[in-house]
Each structure stands twice: as structure tokens, then as C-alpha cells.
Amino acid sequence: IIDELKEYTIEHFQAEEEYMKSIGYKRFLSQKAAHNEFLEKMNSIDVEKIDNGHNEYLIGILDFVCDWLAQHIIKEDKLIAAK
């Protein structure tokens, strides 16, 4: 599931970044930086810990992903939609 989330995220961010460029979105660079930080976090996930049943580690990842996505959509993506 983690690999699928990474793949989807990369595709989604690429499409969103292309759209931002196409409309001349002024906060493009800060959005791209936020996307890159999220991807770095996703790439740092230790899948072996998950496979070995480290539930607290997995819960931490799930909390991070849910919080980040909710905040990003509520704050940043709404600004794009308002453009």
C-alpha cells in the first residue's frame, strides 16, 4: 500500500504542479517545496518496520499522512481553487 500511495502521490503532485504553472499560480514554489517535503517523508518510510509489526510506527505514518493531506487540501489547495 505504501508503494501505491507513493506512486499516486507523485502522479497527483505532477499534475497539480503542471496546472499551477499553466495558471501562473504565484505560490507555485512554496507548493512544490511542500510536495517535495511530503515525498521525502514518504521515501524515508521503513517498510521493514511495518512488515515486522511495529504498529506505533505505522500509526505515526498514518497520522502524518492524514494530517498533512487534510491541512494541505484545506489551506493550500483551496487557494489554487480560488485562483
Cell numbers linked to 31: 507548493
pLDDT of residue 66: 94
pLDDT band per the 50, 70, 90 thresholds, residue 73: confident
For 1-83, strand residue ranges (E) read none
pLDDT of residue 3: 87
Model confidence over 5-46: pLDDT tens digits? 899 999 999 999 999 999 999 999 999 999 999 999 999 999
Residue 62 to residue 53: CA distance in whole angstroms: 14
**Other C-beta atoms within 10 Å of 31: how many?**
19
pLDDT band per the 50, 70, 90 thresholds, residue 2: confident
Residue 35 to residue 73: CA distance in whole angstroms: 12
> How is domain 2-82 classified at the CATH fold level?
Four Helix Bundle (Hemerythrin (Met), subunit A) (1.20.120)
